[in-house]
Structure 1
């Protein structure tokens, strides 16, 4: 039916197809060496990242390696991805959104950032003052031109950015505070806690999670007043930066005798468009299918709902999107 030349051609084509299939299959099964950026050793993010790395290694091809980097936080991790120093990173939707747009604290756009898993936990931005101050609201600070001794994390950190933007929403700048006789202290989290405890600072604005040990310690040893965020300000932050109105629940810390309106947000796991689709798919599935392991290691993940993992107002990685569609999480 076929001549010798035709048969030879068909054999060569079949052999070529087999080689191509083998090469593709081999590439898909190749071990992965990935770096996951988190935060300092011992932090909640570092603990969660270690657990994620374990889940990822179990889902990726045999021999794969996932190294957890003990740096550099919500603002810094998108930069590490842009520089190729990490393949994935924990961050917040707010900071990731600013990085995508190239807005401060980012000097240029990082356009290829993609979401893998969102809404991993519960975070609040809180602003607390020592209870003996006459400050009961953000508006009081400006109305009284109070010489506030403010403790805030170093410039470029999430806490510093949030505090600066929050005060600005009430018409207050760091320069105003200094001009009123106050002072802005850029310090580490532990130092800020000590300054509040020792009376060297009147106020501290920073991120907080349920049962946060440092905030628990501070509230236990120092009478605090957590300032409420007005709805109009909360709506502004939701529209412009992706926060949501939340509340610090009654009894969260000593002195919280009623629910306090605050800004809420959650951790997300991001990557770049360079990550292969099959790798992103496996990583997303591994995390969303193993919530209990995350919770066992990191109590903050108790709020994680895999059905809401794609809801972070960020562009999804195609591999993550594939998983969410298969799982019926998005349509």
Structure 2
């Protein structure tokens, strides 16, 4: 009976991919889609993976040592153990990754946020004049990442920081990262920017959250801006030895930013961190994986399958994967890669 069901599923997948015009085989490098005149039906192994040639892929994550980098390493390891693929992980950023993936030469896969992916494919905001036409979605990781601002100073709001730039020493994240961009978009509604605050005397440091919290403990900055899932390990560690307060965003202002750029306004629940006694209102976005459209259908199919069917292995590597839900993996805000779509359809996830 199991063999009959497996054969039936394989036949359905073959018909589905044939209808999409899939080649069903890789080019050898894994970075180029079929493209030959002859169309072949995909074949599957005993575990339901689509047969594919040996492939080489690079994934753009976030800054080295950050959450995305650790999660990327875990996924790359899982891909290599599950598929005939060799993975390379490189540092990246939330807004730069779509462009890197779209170009497809050195990077074929990467992390980003739904709002960034939508803007990239539509050629809006940071991607104006640089529309990403080769960008497709692989999977929604369902990881909501919140903008968080913590401080050892007496600031009670971002507006207070803007009014006192000469006393502000803030780590904002790498340029082009989601946290730096999201904070700048909030500041835009206040008629200023990080560059403007620096010109007025603020010490603005473009370093990662982990580096920022080390700087807070060392007394080199008094405020740290981050975008991360709950809990952020470097913040938890810093709070063990340094008391900080949590700064909420003004709801009306934050909602304007959310409406313009496609973010959500939400709350970091009270008690998520030490010294956080109340909900913290802020902006957030959801993490997805994007992939170049030229990646073989078989490779994209197998990567989607690997992620959907190995949650426990991913959670053991990074707690943020606890949010992974196969039921919403296809909900990415942009078009899915045909190979990934074929997997979700076959698994009843669309």
Determine if the TM-score, normalized by the shorter chain, exceeds 0.5. yes
1:122-157 Cα distance to aligned partner (Å, 9 max, x none): 321112222x41x21223334566742222233223
In the alignment, structure 1 residue 35 sits paired with structure 2 residue 55: no
Selected match of 1:159 from 156, 179, 182:
179
Equivalent residues of 1:118, 1:309 under 8 A apart: yes
> Residue deviations 1:260-281, cap 9 Å, x none?
1122223211101112223222
CA distance in 1: counterparts of 2:166 and 2:39, whole angstroms: 71
User: Tell me, what secondary structure is at the counterpart of 1:74?
Assistant: coil
CA contact (8 A) 2:186 2:254 kept: no
1:102-181 map, 5 Å: 103-104=125-126, 108-130=130-152, 132-133=153-154, 135-142=155-162, 147-178=167-198, 180-181=200-201
SS at match of 2:312: helix
Query: In the alignment, which residue of structure 1 is the partner of 2:73?
Result: 50
Normalising by structure 2, we get a TM-score of 0.76
Whether 1:192 aligns to 2:215 is no
Shift in Å at residue 301 of structure 1?
A: 0.6
Name the structure with the higher helix share.
1
Q: TM-score, normalised by structure 1?
A: 0.80
Q: 1:58 to 1:201 in 2, by over 3 A?
A: closer
Structure 1 residue 115: Cα displacement: 0.6
1:281 and 1:323 in contact (8 A); partners too: yes
Within a 5 Å distance, the mapping from 1:95-106 to structure 2 comes to 95-100=116-121, 101=123, 103-104=125-126
**What is the CA distance between 1:296 and its match in structure 2?**
1.2
Of 63, 66, 71 in structure 1, the residue corresponding to residue 91 of structure 2 is 71
- What does residue range 214-253 of structure 1 map to in structure 2 within 5 Å? 214-253=234-273
Matched, 1:87 2:121: no
Tell whether 2:330 aligns with 1:280.
no
- Tell me: CA distance 1:32–1:175, structure 2 relative to 1, closer, same or farther (3 Å): closer
Contact 2:60-2:107 within 8 A present in 1 as well? yes
> How big is the alpha-carbon RMSD for the aligned residues of Structure 1 and Structure 2?
3.0
Q: Which runs of 5+ in 1 are unaligned?
A: 1-19
In structure 1, distance between residues paired with 2:249 and 2:332: 22
Whether the aligned pair in 2 keeps the contact of 1:138 and 1:227 (CA below 8 Å) is: yes
Contact kept? 1:128, 1:224, Cα under 8 Å: yes
CA radius of gyration, larger in: 1
CA contact (8 A) 1:103 1:109 kept: no
Aligned length: 306
* CA 1:111–1:248: 2 relative to 1, 3 Å: same
